Structure 1
Amino acid sequence: MDDIFASAKSILVVWAPDVNPENLPMFQEKIQTKAKQARIAFENVEMLSESQRLSSSFDLILFGLVSKRDTQITIDILNELFRLLGPMGYLISHVEHTKQSQTIDLFKMCGFSSCNPLDANSSFLIENKDDNVKKLGSLWLCQKPSFDIGYSVPLRSTTDTRMGQTSSSTAGEKKTWTMEDDDLIDTDELLDENDRKKPDVKKYDCGTTSTGVRKACKNCTCGLAQELEQEEHTTAKETVKSSCGSCYLGDAFRCAGCPSRGLPPFKPGERVTVPNMSDPLVCTVIPDSYGKRVMCYYTNWSGYRPSDGRFSIQDIDPSLCTHIIYSFASVRGNDLGTTEGSDPENYKQILALKEKNPDLKVMLAVGGWNHGSGPFTQMVATEKSRQEFVENSYNFLKKYGFDGLDLDWEYPADRGSPYDDRHRFTQLVEQLSEKYKPEGLLLSAATPASPSRYDGSYEPEICKHLDFINMMTYDYTGQWERTAGHNSPLTSQKETVQHMLKKQDCTPDKLNLGMGAYGRTHQLADPSANGIGSPTVGSGAMAGAYTGESGFMSYYEVCQKLKEGWTKEWSNQHQVPYAYSGSNWVGYDDTESIALKVRCLCVVFSCDLSSVLLGHS
């Protein structure tokens, strides 16, 4: 048992809404003592299917162990747990003795190859359960096979599958399998007298009552009962309501309908607000001696947008930025590669902006969300492959005249990247720094806003080797949520900044606050409920006319909607604007909210040029 925890690199704890919220952090500490190297994630069972985690992401899943009572497990839940487990991964669950046989059969039917009871040494996992529950059940360990979904193996053509023996026929002889009369079954013999009786349809009352209400009979077998149950479940999900009682712990411990999703953790009973901006705990102002730094990202696909939405390098005012980061290059083997055919020409044009602003620094970003982890994982695998990338990337930057490299790996030890990549990324950054700094090249990294995601992907010492940390303090929520959350609320950004300032060598002069010069759109479930936290349908959100991506709207597209009559509101709690019209909703930043963030959190920031600068806006 101890070996399973010691070897696990990623663990998922699935908890139910009846859990005492105070037990979750204590349970995490308890597991961490057994699995010192593991990254532990929590997921509410109600949000399991909506979390959209990657397949084969976990080595061990602990299901329903934190609550006092056993959590009901269904085929849908088991199928999702099986998908999340990697090959040879383990599932631990508490099974009631009276349901043991059918539950274990359910495990095996969903694909688990072996299920065995655990000994008394595992009792620490169910310390939170009621004593009666402990007595009436036991812990079981089930393992996923060594293959994953979609794997295939060839059939042995020389084996008789009925007898399990190798055919005695010669190699060149062809055998034809035939069915003898003795193998046939007379289906009439399977029916008894009760089966032959004609059913009395009068005693079945499935259908619609005289009052127009659909109703299933007590022993319904026609499928109506399941249909009505599904409709009831769907209605319950659409009527979003918080009952988890763990709102104050943070998003990892909140249920799907929690009105506090997107807010930082707070003390029970405390109302989360933005205090006076002179409060030193809220405002983290960088001294003037550090100077102003404005990092501007230029995305190479923005030149392909239609009509007035097209944004080319010629549209950039180089006096607005201290640094421009061209996005994106790719990792190609152990070298850098272009992602668009126009990149080499674009390199020349964007570097030519330095003629208008001699102090301008132009960097190249590699990676991005759509790039994936695979090429990075392969490149950082060995000392030799990393050193080859260091030399090749240096030559690439020097060839075109870039001033540095921005590492945008999203993310080490996450999204399919193995846990060892966390340390290998540190080694890569250290090797790049040793090569770049003597040559005057800059080195930065784009990092996630979520404190837990940052800690899971990066070791504390990376700040030491980087010139800048570009915090992606946006996309805190989006249409993938079931509530209308803001893209970049000041409250969440404050939490990110404070978390980063506690890191070794992450001094204020190295931190760049990300400003998403765009909005995240939602489709409201009820147009009359249009504030932050209102229920949404979770998909189908409006796309911008030029950007053309569902759930996304650039700032100039938001401005156009305001001109068309959308209602604009201001959130005093999050210090950001949002707008709506009918069932369409968008949370975004404007000049007022960005000025407030710069004044309150820091005086250096980064933004996407192509989402904010447009000739007619």
Structure 2
Amino acid sequence: MSFDSLHTGDKALFVAPATVDQNTFVQVKDSAQTKVGETGQVSFEVMDRVAEAPLNKSSYNVIYSNLFTPSVSIHTPDMLSRYLTTLTSGGQLVLQEVVLLVDLANTICPITRQSGDLESMLKLAGFVDVTVKSVTPVSDKDLAAFFHLWGTTKIEQGVSRLSGKFGITHIEAKKPAYEVGQKMKLNFKKKPTGTVKKAVVWANVNSDDIEDEDLLLDESDRVKPSKESLSRPDDCELTDGKRKACKNCTCGRAEEEANGVVSLDMMDDMQEDEIVEVDPTPKKKGCGSCTLGDAFRCSTCPYLGMPAFSAGENVALGGMFAQDDIEF
């Protein structure tokens, strides 16, 4: 395990699964403590509980995560977010994780990510300068150790089927050189150098390239519309001070009345101080074609659904409808 990123006085955090060999961990911790010196600090945290661990904000210069082997632990978004908060500004994260080298077909496996997926997760968490240093294929011996950690009993069968399909990715990333919520004073008084005056900018514009908007209009566009040209064509007759659709209506008033739309002609015979009250609710009254059947009735006819009848005749239902449906 390399500690090239460690310097004298640094504070380092090692994160590893609980299955790591204790002797190996003690050797790594002693080597790291020698690297940072007496003014530095080396700490350890279990990977499974690092998301809820009492880690102080901006307290470590570098974090080494999951570098001990064999390990099948994976990094979650909550863990990466916690790493970002725990690192100081510009701090470094060094991690390893088992990834897929190829897509697995018809195989259920705890490892589902490739190296590019983990790289994207780090960027989404807020890390910068994310670099995949290496992706090393997993040997069959290490793969057998992985199956043992997963609790699989058919180790030989699993190794023969998944040999050469796993790798260990080594990724390094950095925390941005600023803290969340950090404030910075902006100086708006000082003008930036090389400022070009507006007059100079417009002087460089060729007037021939500017379109004259007046040339886009012809003589017909300049004619002011009259009151008659703005009013819609109307061939319906005026009855009792209101226009109603005539028999051969072509102006669209008949369709408006059939849909319950009330149209007021404010241009015809109206004074500014007049108030017109209109009740748009359809009235239950005959339309003159009620006796001919539904095909000739209007939409508000009170006789809709009834058979045709003669004027003045009481409508009577025959057949099964004339019989009482209650038997005694």
TM-score (norm 1): 0.23
**More helix per residue:** 1
Which structure: larger Rg? 2
TM-score (norm 2): 0.41
